[in-house]
Every structure is written in C-alpha cells, then in structure tokens.
Amino acid sequence: MTRIAEFGWRGKEEPGIGRIVSAHGDYYHLVCNETGGEILARKKKSAFAKRIESVQESGGLRRVQRGEIGDEVLKPITGDFVRFRYNAQGESMILELLPRFSHFERKDPTARRKSQTLAVNFDTLFIMMSLNENFSTARMERYLDLASDVGDAEVVAVVTKMDLREEGDEEFFSALEETVAGRARILHISAHTGEGMEAVMEYVKPRRTLAFIGSSGVGKSTLVNALAGDDWMATQEIQEWSGKGRHTTTSRELVMLPSGAMVIDTPGIREIGRLGEVDVQMAKGESSHRYRK
C-alpha cells in the first residue's frame, strides 16, 4: 500500500498527490508517496486567485469573477488532497485542490465572508459537547443544521466528560436524544475513565478520517491523545499554553494514529453574539506540528 493510500486517498494512484496534514500561511505540510513521504509545498498563487471569466448570456458575453458564477475559489486546508509539483532545487508548488468528499462549514451571517470551512475529507464527524456548562441542546441543534450537508460522512453527537455526570442529568440526555432524533448517533464518553471508548473505536479504522469539532475545552485534543497514546502526548508538551493555564489547539492538524486511522483536531469554536445566532469565531494561529510515519 502506498503512503498516500494509507492517508486515505481512494482515487487513482498518480505521482504528485499529497494530503495536507498542517497549514502554515501559504505553506503546507504534505504527506505523499514522493521524497521520503513528506514535503513542504507552497500554494501556487495563480491557481488559487480569483479569476475574471467571460460567461455567455442572452445579451452577449459578460465578464464576471469566478466566484460569481458559483465556482468559488477554495483555499486548501488541512485534510485536503492536492496535486503538487515537486521541485528538488527550489519550492514545491500546490497546483490544484482535489475534490472533497465531505466538508463541514459554518455560515456566518455577519461577516462579509460567506462561510468558513472547518474540516474536510472526513469519514466521521464528531460534534462534541461536554457535560458541564457547555451542554446546550440549542447549540447541538445549530451544529446539526450545519452538518446536514456534510457529504459522504457520518455525523455523530458526542457527549464528553461523562465522569462529571450528576444525579438528574438523565433529563439532559433525553432532551439531547429528542434534538438529535434520527439525524446522528449519540455517544457518551469520558476520556478520563475510558467510558464509551469501545463505541468510539468503531470509527477508528485504518485509512479512515475522523474530524472533531466543538467549543473550546470540550475535550477534543484529550480524546486525540487518548487515541494516539503516549507518543503523541509528549508532542503536546511543546504546544502553546492558553491564558487559562491549559493547552488550547490553535490550528487544524491531521494526526495519524497508531491504528492507521486519522483525526483532524480543530481549534474550539467560540460562540459570540446574541442567543440563537450562529455566530462563531475560530481561534487563529499556528501550532507546532508532528506526525508519525
């Protein structure tokens, strides 16, 4: 099996196909079959710039921006498969973004940008919510709405930190079940006690990608650590500490697990604005990256 296939590529095997494991501005860390299995490549500006094109209309030719005719210029992000040109002497270039089989994006009613893509090319989307002040069926409802057109992927609602469960929480669980009804499977887990981990493992399969989304602090990275084992944990030591005195993820990262499955860990979505509005902001920035072969 080739390396790119191990990283989930199911298309035709050709030279110059890579998967983005982390993004650093215009530079992307790719895994690929060439050059020892990984390269750093830059996005070719002209390939990802808005272009003016002419479209035929009843009144003649009209010049439009590509975005206007529904062909948005998409930026590659972590998890994407891309076509690149290797350059042994200089910079390798990403020439093309390959079609995504799944994607999760937030629609932003306030910002000028139409939407923000949070994760791509996952087989399973874990929408994570922790069993404490973060618990809100209304928020789950909004996530599920956004996840209604993810593409070829299964959506799973995950209640984390089950070890914090208290008497009377059954009420929350049945409210959640009602909210989710028929739209997703619900898992109840605790990364601390291991509760519910067998159910999680059903999705942890070689060449399959999971994406974790949810508010900051719900336990996304902790679950990645639990799945990755001690090796990965050690690399977390060098991550930035947040002001709150804990690790907080600052950029999307695709992590290869020892089992051969992959996880896209995302920075927590911060919700702002008035009640009922889906107005979320994602923490921006970079993190150190490491993955294992």
Ligand X SMILES: Nc1nc2c(ncn2[C@@H]2O[C@H](COP(=O)(O)OP(=O)(O)OP(=O)(O)O)[C@@H](O)[C@H]2O)c(=O)[nH]1
> Interface residues with ligand X (CB under 6 A)?
160-161, 163-164, 190-192, 216-222, 246-249, 267-268
Q: Give min distance, CB of 216 to ligand X, in A.
A: 3
> Residues for the chain: how many in total?
293
Binding partner at 262 among ligand X, Mg ion, none, C-beta below 5 to 8 Å by kind:
none
79: left (phi over 0), alpha (psi -120 to 50) or beta: left
Residue with smaller CB distance to ligand X, 44 or 188: 188
Binding partner at 161 among Mg ion, ligand X, none, C-beta below 5 to 8 Å by kind:
ligand X
Residue with smaller CB distance to ligand X, 39 or 131: 131
Residue with smaller CB distance to ligand X, 209 or 225: 225
End-to-end Cα, the chain, rounded Å: 14
Q: Give min distance, CB of 268 to ligand X, in A.
A: 3
Query: Which secondary structure element, helix H or strand E, spans residue 54, and what is its range?
Result: strand 52-57
Query: CB of 234 within 8 A of CB of 181?
Result: no
Q: Give min distance, CB of 190 to ligand X, in A.
A: 4
For residue 13, give the amino acid letter.
E
Q: Nearest residue to ligand X, using CB? A: 268
Question: Closest by alpha carbon to 282, among 272, 293, 292, 268?
Answer: 268
Tally Cβ neighbours within 10 Å of residue 191. Answer: 22
Tally Cβ neighbours within 10 Å of residue 104. Answer: 24
Query: CB of 32 within 8 A of CB of 18?
Result: yes
Q: For binding to Mg ion (CB under 5 A), which residues are involved?
A: 220-221, 249
SS3 139: helix
Q: Give min distance, CB of 246 to ligand X, in A.
A: 5
Binding partner at 163 among ligand X, Mg ion, none, C-beta below 5 to 8 Å by kind:
ligand X
Binding partner at 18 among ligand X, Mg ion, none, C-beta below 5 to 8 Å by kind:
none
Q: Give min distance, CB of 127 to Mg ion, in A.
A: 15
